[in-house]
Amino acid sequence: MNQDNIVTKIATWLVPLVIAIVFHEVAHGLVARRLGDPTAEQRGRLSLNPLKHVDPFGTVILPLFLAVANVGAIFGWAKPVPVNYARLRNPRRDMVLVALAGPGMNLLLALVGALILAATLSVSGGGEDPAAEFIARNALNFVSINVFLAVFNLIPLPPFDGGHVAEGLLPPPLAAKFRQIGRYSLLVFVMLLLVLPRLSPQLDVIGRVVAPLVRAIVLGLIGLVGTVV
């Protein structure tokens, strides 16, 4: 096993991932505060300190395992920031806005990553510069991770942000029933990531829906800033 290769993967995937998920969670808390719920701020979660948001499994163990296992991509999550929807000024509408804040932040970070990638390639002139290559690889991974987090989190099922969006748009009686799916959040993860793809390629939501959309958005952002990868 190549130790340098593992270290490089951790540096170019895990670091961008941690930045992406921390900003994602803080965005939820900032928008919630703006809309009347200061819960996240009161609990010290409006911090960019990763230690405030670490989920031992989702932020550390799983990403490290994926890096060592050489699966080609790294995924993870942080502890969700606490949001008390009852304290929002307009709970049903504001629930949607708070939920969209996380994916929106990830798309904004993806654009920043694309700009950094374009600037790095422009300065290096495409030559073999190890430092520029490292920065470019981080920037490209940063774009990919943020776009993936944005799209993945918009799946319209609890516990994803898309589930909160759907709940806020459904009529109240249906929303109450829909919310109950959140009790089985771990089962939802397992079904989407492991069970359905094994049952049939046609049921592979990640491979057939999320991945192509992520690829298209990444290429679109990179093309937008005039970069060819």
How far apart are alpha carbons 40 and 33 in whole angstroms?
8
Q: Is the Cβ–Cβ distance between 79 and 53 less than 8 Å?
A: yes
**Tokens representing residue 74 in the block:** 């790294």
Residue appearing with tokens 């249906």: 174
Active-site residue 25, yes or no?
Answer: yes
Residues whose CB is less than 8 angstroms from the CB of residue 228 and which lie 6 or more positions away in sequence, other chains included: 222
Do the beta carbons of residue 143 and residue 114 sit within 8 Å? yes
Catalytic residue (one of 25, 41, 128, 133): 25
Active site positions, annotated:
25
